[in-house]
Amino acid sequence: MTLSIPRALRSRLLEAAVATLVCAAPAAASQYDFVPAPQIDLNRIYRIDRVTGEVGACQYGLKDGTIGVTFCFPVGEGAGKQEPGEYGLVPSKHAREAGVFRVNYRTGEMSVCYVLNGEVVVCTPQAGTPAAAAATQAPDAGTQSPAGGASAKKP
């Protein structure tokens, strides 16, 4: 027994499928996310490549005789491409903080990214979650955690 779908219905189903794919394509193609620096008197925006973790930053500046310029900082130490993952940027809630956190949603690793000396975007090395760090380091009896138990020394 074969199921027969009327030609008009097949045509409408095909049109709906194509429309769904066309509308979904731009959403799937967004490779970058953008967040402002948390500092309230700084007009800087950070950009991250969601797949590679590369971080950049741009800001507006005044220039005599013009409407102003947008200038972007080059990628420096630690801000370049990372292992492929699912990256994002998270600003802190500090009104005077100019940097942002780069997070890897797959691994839980984080680093802090900022513009160093007004010249280049840099990021600290990725650090794992506390549970992952504790599993790779043996507890030191001389170091106490806030809860009073032994904890691993930080590098």
**52-56, 80-84, 127-131, 142-146 — which is least confidently predicted?**
142-146
For residue 115, count other CB atoms closer than 10 A to its CB.
21
pLDDT digit string, tens, across residues 21-35 = 444 444 455 899 999
Decide if 85 is inside a domain.
yes
- Check whether 118 has a pLDDT greater than 70: yes
Per-residue confidence band for 146, with pLDDT thresholds at 50, 70 and 90: very low
Distance CA 34, CA 149 (A): 40
Average pLDDT score over residue span 94-103: 90
Decide if 46 is inside a domain.
yes
Decide if 132 is inside a domain.
no
Decide if 143 is inside a domain.
no
State how many domains the chain has: 1
Tokens 């549970």 map to which residue?
131
Burial 53-64 (b: 16+ CB within 10 A, else e): bbbbbbbeeeee
Tokens 């650090």 map to which residue?
127
pTM: 0.65
Find the distance separating the first CA and the last CA of the chain, reported in whole Å.
70
Higher pLDDT, 122 or 1: 122
Tell me which residue range forms the domain holding 64.
30-126
Average pLDDT score over residue span 70-98: 93
Average pLDDT, the chain: 78
Decide if 138 is inside a domain.
no
The torsion angles phi and psi of 24, rounded to 5 degrees, stand at -80, -25
- Check whether 144 has a pLDDT greater than 70: no
Distance CA 9, CA 13 (A): 6
